[in-house]
Amino acid sequence: MKITAIHASNFLGARAVDLQLTKRVNLIAGSNGAGKSSLRDAIALALTADLGRVSLKKDAPALVTDGADAAHVQVDTENFSSSVSITASGKIVDSLKGVQVPDVLRFVMDAQRFARLEPKDRRAFLFDLMGLKAGGDADTRLQAAIAATAQALALPVETVRECVEQQEQAA
């Protein structure tokens, strides 16, 4: 998915943002308090319906810039457009309401969410993302990789397997 435009107004520190993203990679830079994190949170809200800095829907008005009547965010991609509005009184209008958002978007917008997963949940998520089934292709490939590594390092397969297991437990 490629984001092609971002529009945000009165969303936390992002008071008036209108970006047309024409380059393959875009860098958002600014001094402290300029609204960079607010813009990231606005994008996450539009794409995933994640309120981010507030944990309860009733606290959503805290995302509206002080003194503003409402916050508006719109993110356009090559395939769809998504928008969210939050009034100062707390009414939320979400264009993606009822639409199933791919789980991967939640992790792209918040890498710490992925890091907080239990190791087995991270592995299951990655297998699913790659279209592999735990216990099937993935385990076969893992065992083949362990055997190849052992051979390349001239170590017993069991030693390499133990190292892999220790790394998984440490993760």
Dump pLDDT digits (tens) for 9-47. 999 999 999 999 998 888 899 999 999 999 999 999 998
Q: How confident is the model at residue 133, as a pLDDT?
A: 65
Q: For residues 98 and 136, which has the higher predicted lDDT (pLDDT)?
A: 98
Q: How confident is the model at residue 138, as a pLDDT?
A: 63
Phi, psi of 120 (to 5 degrees): -70, -30
Q: For residues 165 and 170, which has the higher predicted lDDT (pLDDT)?
A: 165
Q: Using CA atoms, how far apart are residues 36 and 31, in angstroms rounded to an integer?
A: 9
Q: Measured on CA atoms in the order 90, 91, 95, 97, is the torsion positive or negative?
A: positive
pTM above 0.75, yes or no: no
Instruction: Kindly state the DSSP code that residue 91 receives in the 8-state scheme.
Output: -
Q: Which residue has the tokens 């965010």?
A: 73
Contacts of 29 (CB under 8 A, 6+ apart): 36
Instruction: Kindly state the DSSP code that residue 65 receives in the 8-state scheme.
Output: P
Nearest-5° angle of CA 145, CA 148, CA 153? 120
Q: How confident is the model at residue 6, as a pLDDT?
A: 96
Dump pLDDT digits (tens) for 118-169. 888 887 777 776 666 666 666 777 777 777 777 767 778 888 778 777 777 7
Q: How confident is the model at residue 10, as a pLDDT?
A: 97
Residue 17, SS3 per DSSP: strand
Q: How confident is the model at residue 126, as a pLDDT?
A: 75
Domains in the chain, start-ordered, CATH in brackets? 3-99 (3.40.50.300), 119-170 (no CATH)
**What share of the chain has pLDDT > 70, as a percent?**
90
Q: How far is CA 42 from CA 13, 16, 102, 109, in A?
A: 10, 12, 17, 10
